[in-house]
Chain A
Amino acid sequence: MAQVLVGTRKGLFVLEVERARGACRIDGPHFLGQVVNHAVLDPRDGRTLLAAVKAGHLGPTVFRSDDTGRSWQEASRPPAFAKAAPGEDGESVSHVFWLTPGHASEPGRWYAGTSPQGLFVSLDAGRAWEPVEGFNAHRDRRKWIGGPQDAPPDGGTLHSINVDPSDARHLYIGMSGGGVFESRDHGATWSPLNRGVAADFLPDPEAEYGHDPHCLRLHPATGEAWQQNHCGIYRLDRAGNRWQRIGASMPAEIGDIGFPIVLHPRDPSTAWVFPMDGGTVWPRVPIGGRPAVYRTRDGGASWERQDRGLPAEQGWLTVKRQAMSVDDGDPAALYFGTTSGEVFASFDEGDSWSSLCRHLPHIYSVEAATAR
């Protein structure tokens, strides 16, 4: 039975998916009425779940489960910025937005990204969190992230925390706004990594930072980086430092605007995106009301439309940056959740799709936890 974690505006739902029948049982809601921006299973032990939770106007927190969601305990010290010195302007975490397990060689280590843009680490499987001061206290951080006018409507976010599969100390983060940054020393020092990425909202075509990556993923085998940016789809061969706009090969009438991107668990040339309308006022819904996933199998040189089983017309659904996921099954299963509360699944690597469940709250995140 595959397990899929669905974080929503009103709680967490755990889907128990029977792949052979394309059917699922819904467990939940957990944390009813509370915003769950992200929930992730620890692949290193297969049973620890972490969930980023915020209730209304109360302070943000992280809950953890040691028994795949049967019971939950709140973190003893949730992510929080360091207390400012007297007279200085301190910051407060609004919500925890992203959770990432650490490297396979570092059991118990987790990272969290927040709004406003902050990076936090736990060394005890999510019980206590500490600021990564190499980033949070970096003298250029406020310059990198800009002001309120640079942030999305729900506030600036630090997301897409990725750990290089070949080097536990090599970290990548994405920030909206701010761009992609990397650290090669466990977060002690950071460098921008945005060369070649468009930022149509900045006057400098070669801006060093200030970009808006929507979703950044590292391939688990090669460590190659891919991103769906506010301004296109990109791939970065780590032999170099300049992103290539592989979205340029998308059909012109579709374009390369969207939020999520997911990578094949084994094939380093295969990825999927969910294009959205980036014309005029940026409706950010499927182009023409006809939702489709696009897949590349050649590293972005070409893309194929995959819409079998999705609404053929009048399908005005939106898929957020954390709301698309792929498992490590063979063939890989794909899932995406919509802001209208529906989860679609494909068990043949995107060739066909079916609705797995409907009528959930506004979906923020979808994570394929286990493939079987």
Chain B
Amino acid sequence: MIISSLLITLTSSLAWQQADEREPVGRATAYRLDRIETLDGDALTNATVLVRDGVIERLGKAVVIPEHATIHDLRGTGSVMTPPLVLSHANFLQSDRRGGGNNSRFIAADSLWMNESWAEDLWQYGVGMVAIDPPGSGAPGRTSVLRVEPASKRPETLVDDLHLKLNMATNSSAKKLIREGIKAAEAAIENEVQAEKDWKKARKEWQEKQDAKKKADEEAKANGEEVEASDDEEKGPSETFEAPTIKDNEQAFVDWVRKERVAQVHMRSASDWLHWQQLMGEREESYEVVLSISSSTNLHEVIDDIVAGVRVDVPARMSFLPYTRNRINIASELVAAGCEKIVLSPSSNSSRGVSDFRLQISRLLAEGLDEAVALRAITLEPSLAIGQEEVMGTIAIGMPASFVIWSGDVFDPFTEVTSLVLDGEEKFNREQFELEQQR
């Protein structure tokens, strides 16, 4: 006890010295925890995170805490810090559901309908960011990324217009839709290239004509002739190239074919994958796979082919092999087959699905899924999937201070969120929340 107090005075005196060297700006908050799952190298035990101005300033076992800093000392309680959970393809906040066909002009964020408590509902389960899928079959639209913040109607989006969502199915209409989408996009690109060529040619011809005219005029002037200023000067092509407009429903496909957009391909069976492979053929557009598996699945048939570098989003649930009572853990099968990019999602597409998300994952762990893989699959991987790894996903120096503090092991179903911090601001606190619930 004496030693530890001595240590604290020692560290605080050290902090004083350092504070002299660099001006302390803003409020500093220190979190001292039993374990920090950084997702950026090894986990730290008995470590400290120092947050200043919403950014993680220091991190480690021997962090110097400035004297004026607020200290949350949670050591000895089994506390664990992780990045917030990220849901990379939720569709529980959507108001309208579109039928089949190419509706790729729609943006998920445009049809959101939030209730008052949506943010708190997600915070209390440790969720800090969600990517919203446009619901519906065919090509229902593009995804949007939301920070979990309370808002009455439309919340602030981090990214409005992200992935192109495609529903792949073993039927001719689904394949036709994607095939025609690609064909139309290629035609639009070809059209633009041709238009630019035509413009360049027309511009060049016009320029030559103008130059010749100028020259003739100058010569005439030199010879003392009177030059008639022509009123009807020929109007040439515009100075800058104006690309022909692309149809609303073709734009997302064009971006995808140009490799400027990622497609999110939803599929549910092994044959869907084969048909998708046949559609893609030699193409190299980037895509990620979102599996929607039901109580039974035959995806094990193609699992070795799926893993070739593709990010796979798997619902957190056990399934049966078709027509048998043999259970299959698709997530761990993917890991065994060499897939490194796995995202786990709640198996139910409602905010309720989030409440037993960790319970479901704990079942996968009991059936052989690696715990480190599972943690990565609900924090960093979904962030990477939606390109927001700079916003949240790891706990590292210089990263925004967004994290969750759990009361114990993350995958213990009895563990609760003690506190959720986004950009250094505490958004959720279990004690306060429970007090409010009692009132």
Q: State whether these chains interact.
A: no
- A→B interface (CB under 8 Å): none
- B→A interface (CB under 8 Å): none
